Structure 1
């Protein structure tokens, strides 16, 4: 799937997976050595992310229940916790990814089948 910005236009991430099960949500990106610029992981019904045991920093795009961006965290280092009280989901990507510059609070995002 692709993640697109319906407000600002254009593609945010080209290769997005969804963590739809409890196991996949819990595991997240653990065990990976990194991510490409266009890769992302959507975690629905989530407002708190940890980076315990991670080998790399990640960027986070928190969204509300309407997929409107609530906040953007450009770099969350390993062994940290990020919480966004008003979020209903989060998109994880590589820290410093161009995707983090393509969105801002208030933008509406959409997942599109490829």
Structure 2
């Protein structure tokens, strides 16, 4: 049985909840994320086209439960659609390990 531990991400999280904000995401950004992230709602797959740095991607269902973790996702890579995912939080590479995030945890943003 997976643990349903509540986790808080102690970063400044920007919300991308409009078509244009979701479309742009972090593309073309020059500097890496530092203690910040982007929460894309709704979203169940991502691409790293036109990205300049790696990220960690945390896919959540509607209840905020982590359904998939993708660590150190490099530019020009893709994550196929995850049917149970409703949103994704894009974080600095290494955040999943640093924050101890696990599949099944509940995220409080």
Q: TM-score scaled by structure 2?
A: 0.85
1:51 equivalent among 48, 59, 68: 48
Name the structure where strand makes up a greater proportion of residues.
1
* 1:43-96, Cα deviation, whole Å (9 max, x unpaired): 111101000010111110000111100011111111111122221110001112
Residue 9 of structure 2 aligns to a residue in which SS? Answer: strand
Contact kept in structure 1, 2:17 and 2:42, CA below 8 Å: no
* 1:15-62, Cα deviation, whole Å (9 max, x unpaired): 1010011000000001212110x2110011110100001011111000
Residue in 2 aligned with 1:81?
78
Instruction: Please say if 1:18 is aligned against 2:15.
Output: yes
Contact kept in structure 2, 1:12 and 1:103, CA below 8 Å: no
**Unaligned 5+ runs, structure 1:** 1-5
Q: TM-score scaled by structure 1?
A: 0.82
Q: How many residues align?
A: 102
1:103: Cα distance to partner? Answer: 1.2
Q: Could you list the structure 1 runs, at least 4 aligned residues long, displaced by more than 6 angstroms after superposition.
A: none
Contact kept in structure 2, 1:63 and 1:69, CA below 8 Å: yes
**Unaligned 5+ runs, structure 2:** none
